[in-house]
C-alpha cells in the first residue's frame, strides 16, 4: 500500500556541492528537506514512485521510464562528481501501467525521452540517500491531460501498490511559482504569490478537493511546475484520512519552494474527492437553465447521431421570436473543451443560434478534437446571449467583469466575453481580443463594448 508521501521542490543549488554556499539562502528549505527525508525513511518503504516535471513528458500520455535502471549526475550544473545510479522496480512500474490502462488512462513505457536521471529526480534522491533510504524506484512524468486525469493516475499508483502487497512511498517533485521577484530569474507576476499561498494552505491541510478545483488559468499564469505532480500525490491518497504537515516555504530566489509531508491513515469515504466532484456535477446538470439544456441536447444529439437537432415545439417565445449573438462554452474537468459564438445573429432566433453554436463548440472548434460520446457526461456547458454592441471612445469605458469587448482594425475583429477566469484587467482583455484578431500591438483600433446574460 501507499502510506507516506512527500511534496518536494528540486532546486539544484540546495545540494551543497552545486550551491557552493548559495544554498544557505534557502536554509529553511534545506532543513525541511532533511526532515521530510527522515520522515519517509522511517516509514520503511520497499519502493518509491518519483514523479518529476523534468522526466519525459507527453501531452496525452503518462510515461514511465523503461529499463532496469538509470544513471545521472549534476554534470549539467558543473558538478560531475555528484552522481546517481538507481534500479527501477519493474514489477511495480508494469503494475502501474496495467492499472492505469484498466482505468482508461494512457500510460506506459513507450515513446522516446532522456533516459538519464533528471534533476527533478536527483535532488530528492540526494537527500533521501543522505537519510539512508535506498530502494528501487519507479520514475515517471506527468502529462498535458486534465487535473482529474492526474488525480486518477495517482489512484492507479496506489491501487497497483496495493495489488502487489508492497509498501510504497511517493515523492511529488515540483517547484511552485517561478514569478515571485522582479529581480528573480523569471520576473514578477502577482499571481505567483497568490498561487503559492493557496498551494501551501491546501497541501498543509490535505484539502485535495480544493487542489482539484484550482483554476488552470491561475496555475498557468503563476508559472508553476508541480501542480500535476501534487495532483497525482493527492490521488494516491484518495479515500484515506491524511495527516499532513507543511514544513517550510521560501520564495527568496524568485521561485517558490514548498515542503510538505503526508501520512495516510484509515479509509475515509468522505475523501473520495474526484467521485464527490462528479456527483456534484451531476447535481448541477439537474438544475441547468433552459438555454443550457437546449445547448446540451443539441451537442449530445450531434455527437451521438451526426444530425442537427430540430427545435422543440414548446420553447417560450422569448427564445424563438428574438435574435441575438450567442456564445456556447464547453468545459471538461475544469478546462475549456470548446467555445464557438456569433457576435451578431446569423439565424432566425436565439434558440436556433444556440443549437448552431452548441454543435460547433462540440465539433468544430479548431483548437480541440471533436467531443466524443464517452466524454458527454463530463461536459459542463454555459450559454452567453450577447446584448447590442456600442461604440466607445477608450478603454476607460470598459469593465472586465461587466462588459465584453470587440476590437476592430482594417476588417479584422476580435471579441472577448466579460468575466472570464484568469482575465482580471481591461488591458488583458483588450490584448487577448487583439491577438485573436491578429492585430499587432501599436495598430490603431476601434472599440465596442457589450453586455451578456450568462446562463449555466
Listing DSSP states for 97-127 in one string gives: HHHHHHTT--EES-S----SPPHHHHHHHHH
Query: In whole angstroms, what is the distance from residue 88 CA to residue 105 CA?
Result: 22
Query: Structural domains in the chain?
Result: 2-271 (3.40.830.10), 278-455 (3.30.700.20)
Does the pLDDT value for residue 333 go beyond 80? Answer: no
Neighbours of 109 (CB within 10 A): 15
Q: Average per-residue pLDDT in the chain? A: 95
Q: Measuring CA to CA, which residue among 31, 167, 53 is closest to residue 119?
A: 53
What per-residue confidence (pLDDT) applies to 334? Answer: 76
Q: Helix crossing, 190-205 with 227-236: angle to 10°?
A: 10
Does the pLDDT value for residue 280 go beyond 90? Answer: no
What per-residue confidence (pLDDT) applies to 342? Answer: 95
Q: In the chain, pLDDT over 70 holds for what percent of residues?
A: 100
The three grid cell numbers given for residue 231, joined into one nine-digit string: 495532483
Query: In whole angstroms, what is the distance from residue 15 CA to residue 7 CA?
Result: 17
Q: Which residues contact 450 (CB under 8 A, 6 or more apart)?
A: 386, 387, 388, 389, 390, 403, 404, 405, 406
What per-residue confidence (pLDDT) applies to 448? Answer: 96
Can you give the pTM of this predicted structure? 0.78
Q: Mean pLDDT lowest for which of 152-156, 159-163, 443-447?
A: 443-447
Amino acid at each position: 500500500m501507499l502510506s507516506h508521501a512527500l511534496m518536494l521542490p528540486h532546486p539544484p543549488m540546495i545540494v551543497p556541492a552545486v550551491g557552493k554556499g548559495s544554498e544557505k539562502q534557502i536554509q529553511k528549505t534545506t532543513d525541511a528537506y532533511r526532515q521530510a527525508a527522515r520522515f519517509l525513511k522511517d516509514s520503511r518503504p520497499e519502493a518509491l514512485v518519483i514523479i518529476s516535471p523534468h522526466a519525459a513528458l507527453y501531452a496525452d500520455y503518462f510515461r514511465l521510464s523503461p529499463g532496469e535502471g538509470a544513471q545521472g549526475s549534476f554534470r549539467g550544473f558543473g558538478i560531475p562528481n555528484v552522481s546517481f545510479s538507481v534500479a527501477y522496480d519493474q514489477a511495480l512500474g508494469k503494475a502501474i501501467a496495467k492499472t492505469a490502462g484498466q482505468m482508461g488512462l494512457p500510460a506506459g513505457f513507450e515513446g522516446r525521452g532522456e533516459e538519464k536521471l533528471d534533476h527533478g529526480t536527483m535532488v530528492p534522491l540526494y537527500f533521501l540517500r543522505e537519510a539512508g533510504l535506498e530502494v528501487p524506484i519507479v520514475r515517471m512524468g506527468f502529462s498535458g491531460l486534465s487535473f482529474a486525469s492526474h488525480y486518477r493516475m495517482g489512484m492507479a499508483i496506489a491501487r497497483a501498490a496495493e495489488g502487489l502487497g508492497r509498501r510504497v512511498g511517493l515523492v511529488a517533485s515540483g517547484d511552485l511559482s517561478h514569478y515571485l521577484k522582479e529581480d528573480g530569474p523569471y520576473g514578477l507576476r502577482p499571481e505567483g504569490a497568490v498561487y503559492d499561498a493557496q498551494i501551501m494552505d491546501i497541501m498543509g491541510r490535505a484539502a485535495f478537493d480544493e487542489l482539484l478545483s484550482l483554476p488552470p488559468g491561475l496555475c498557468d499564469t503563476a508559472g508553476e511546475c508541480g501542480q500535476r505532480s501534487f495532483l497525482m500525490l493527492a490521488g494516491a491518497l484518495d479515500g484515506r484520512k491524511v495527516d499532513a504537515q507543511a514544513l517550510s516555504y521560501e520564495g527568496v530566489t524568485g521561485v517558490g519552494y514548498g515542503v510538505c509531508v503526508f501520512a495516510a491513515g484509515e479509509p475515509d469515504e468522505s475523501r473520495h474527492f474526484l467521485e464527490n466532484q462528479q456527483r456534484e456535477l451531476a447535481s448541477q446538470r439537474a438544475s441547468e437553465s433552459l438555454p443550457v439544456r437546449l445547448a446540451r441536447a443539441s451537442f449530445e444529439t450531434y455527437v451521438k447521431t451526426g444530425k442537427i437537432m430540430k427545435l422543440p415545439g414548446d420553447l417560450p417565445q422569448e427564445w424563438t421570436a428574438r435574435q441575438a449573438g450567442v456564445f456556447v462554452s464547453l468545459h471538461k474537468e475544469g478546462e475549456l473543451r470548446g467555445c464557438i459564438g456569433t457576435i451578431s445573429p446569423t439565424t432566425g432566433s436565439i434558440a436556433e443560434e444556440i443549437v448552431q453554436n452548441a454543435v460547433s463548440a462540440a465539433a468544430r472548434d479548431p483548437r480541440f478534437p471533436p467531443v466524443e460520446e464517452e466524454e458527454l457526461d463530463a461536459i459542463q456547458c454555459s450559454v452567453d446571449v450577447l446584448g447590442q454592441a456600442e461604440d466607445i471612445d477608450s478603454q476607460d469605458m470598459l469593465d472586465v467583469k461587466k462588459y465584453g469587448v470587440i476590437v476592430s482594425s482594417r476588417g479584422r475583429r476580435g471579441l472577448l466575453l466579460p468575466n472570464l477566469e484568469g482575465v482580471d484587467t481591461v488591458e488583458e482583455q483588450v490584448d487577448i481580443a487583439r491577438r485573436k484578431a491578429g492585430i499587432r500591438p501599436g495598430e490603431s483600433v476601434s472599440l465596442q463594448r457589450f453586455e451578456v446574460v450568462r446562463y449555466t
